[in-house]
Amino acid sequence: GAGVSQTPSNKVTEKGKYVELRCDPISGHTALYWYRQSLGQGPEFLIYFQGTGAADDSGLPNDRFFAVRPEGSVSTLKIQRTERGDSAVYLCASSLTQAETQYFGPGTRLLVL
Amino acid sequence: AQSVTQPDIHITVSEGASLELRCNYSYGATPYLFWYVQSPGQGLQLLLKYFSGDTLVQGIKGFEAEFKRSQSSFNLRKPSVHWSDAAEYFCAVYNTNAGKSTFGDGTTLTVKP
């Protein structure tokens, strides 16, 4: 079956603009995770959804970052007033339930000029 | 707070030689531990995982890892490295209560012909 997909694969934007990154999890997976990976570092946790609700958003760096999963499937990560420091690869993962293996998507590479 | 340390930033081995990548974790309870591999421009691929039971776990591509509670380690091994194993390797610990993974900063493996 299809794995986790993320769109777009690359996004270039200007400082101050708004961006949306989309994640399509594996069908039937109730848990969905967003991570951010900066150059030379491991993925850093942002937010975790169980179903439609954000079970843990402690990794979101500030209130410019927001994520939704309205129907418990697709999720969108939204970044307002982007800054150059937001440039990174944003990874999405899903798992059947919490505490199951997470499967990662290919990521969205965001570049803020 | 949970944390993962991968002491070796970069390792170079000759093709056919054995490999060991180190991972040390900090976590208050019995950990769920993972090793992932990431090739340039690719997403994270799960190599193996430890949840419970036998402390020596086998993974894909001939990799294995051993969980040692007394040393808080989960080192990855392969008896004979292939050129295609050149990639970045990440160790991660999963927090079953919070539903998030914490990753190390990775070890880059170079394979010499």
In angstroms, rounded to a whole number, what is the distance separating the alpha carbons of residues B86 and B71?
Answer: 27
B102 touches A at CB < 8 Å: yes
Q: Does the pLDDT value for residue A1 go beyond 60?
A: no
* Nearest C-alpha neighbor of B42 from the set A89, A21, A102, A101: A89
- pLDDT (tens digit per residue) in A28-57: 999 999 999 998 899 999 999 999 998 899
| Cβ count within 10 A of residue A40 | 10
- pLDDT (tens digit per residue) in B1-38: 789 999 999 999 999 999 999 999 998 777 899 999 99
* Interchain pair A99, B32: CB under 8 A: yes
Tokens coding B68: 């040692």
* Interchain pair B104, A104: CB under 8 A: no
* Residue numbers in B near A103 (CB within 8 A): 46
8 A C-beta contact, residue B69 and residue B52:
no
Which of B27, B47, B100 is the best mutation test for A, with the most CBs of A within 10 A? B100
Distance from CA of A34 to the nearest CA of B (A): 9
In angstroms, rounded to a whole number, what is the distance separating the alpha carbons of residues B110 and B84?
Answer: 10
pLDDT average, residue stretch A70-79: 96
B4 touches A at CB < 8 Å: yes
Look at residue B27 in the predicted model and tell me its pLDDT: 84
B5 touches A at CB < 8 Å: no
Look at residue B2 in the predicted model and tell me its pLDDT: 86
Q: For residue A110, what are the β-bridge partners?
A: A11, A88
Q: What is the DSSP string of B83-109?
A: GGG-EEEEEEEEETTTTEEEE---EEE
pLDDT average, residue stretch A13-19: 97
* Interchain pair A43, B44: CB under 8 A: yes
- pLDDT (tens digit per residue) in B54-103: 999 999 999 999 999 999 999 999 999 999 999 999 999 988 777 788 99
Select the residue of A48, A91, A104 nearest B99 (Cβ to Cβ): A48
* A window 60-89, beta carbon within 8 A of B: none
* Interchain pair B100, A33: CB under 8 A: yes
- pLDDT band at A9; cut points 50, 70, 90: very high
